[in-house]
Amino acid sequence: QVQLVQSGPEVKKPGASLKVSCKASGYTFTDNAIHWVRQAPGQSLEWMGWISPVSGNTKYSQKFQARVSLTRDTSATTAYMELSSLTSEDTALYYCARGRGHCISSSCLYFDYWGQGTLVTVSS
């Protein structure tokens, strides 16, 4: 069965950087993009970007473009999300999700499997 298992909770100081991992299993890792979505306490979902495991190509949300980096290790079937210059507004649950869609473009993109979420707290 498809599983995305994320790394554990983190507590960071303002200005620090964060790296969250997402280990995929149960399917061919290079077949689907891995997306990252975050959810601040009591708030909606916010898309951060995606990485293509086969090519390493990435696409980032304009909001996070300057301080997010998505990478992957195909031998370990693991994707990583790194976020720099943390502030208290980055306190959130961070999810990885598998992207699906039958379209060549992103017109029909959806997320069929999600990780369990990684709680990140940014506090001095």
Footprint of other proteins (CB under 8 A): 35, 37, 44-47, 59, 61-62, 95, 97, 100-103, 105-112, 114-117
Phi, psi torsion values for 121, nearest 5 degrees: -115, 125
Query: Distance between CA atoms of 46 and 31, rounded to whole angstroms?
Result: 24
Closer CB to other proteins, 105 or 124, in the complex: 105
Could you tell me the two tokens for 68?
Answer: 């997010």
Shortest Cβ 24–other proteins spacing (Å): 15
Shortest Cβ 62–other proteins spacing (Å): 7
Closer CB to other proteins, 25 or 116, in the complex: 116
Shortest Cβ 120–other proteins spacing (Å): 15
Among 78, 27, 16, which residue's Cα sits nearest to residue 51? 78
Closer CB to other proteins, 62 or 124, in the complex: 62
Could you tell me the two tokens for 86?
Answer: 């943390």
Shortest Cβ 79–other proteins spacing (Å): 16
HSE-up of 85 (CA within 13 Å, CB side)? 6
Closer CB to other proteins, 44 or 75, in the complex: 44
Site of tokens 């280990």: 23
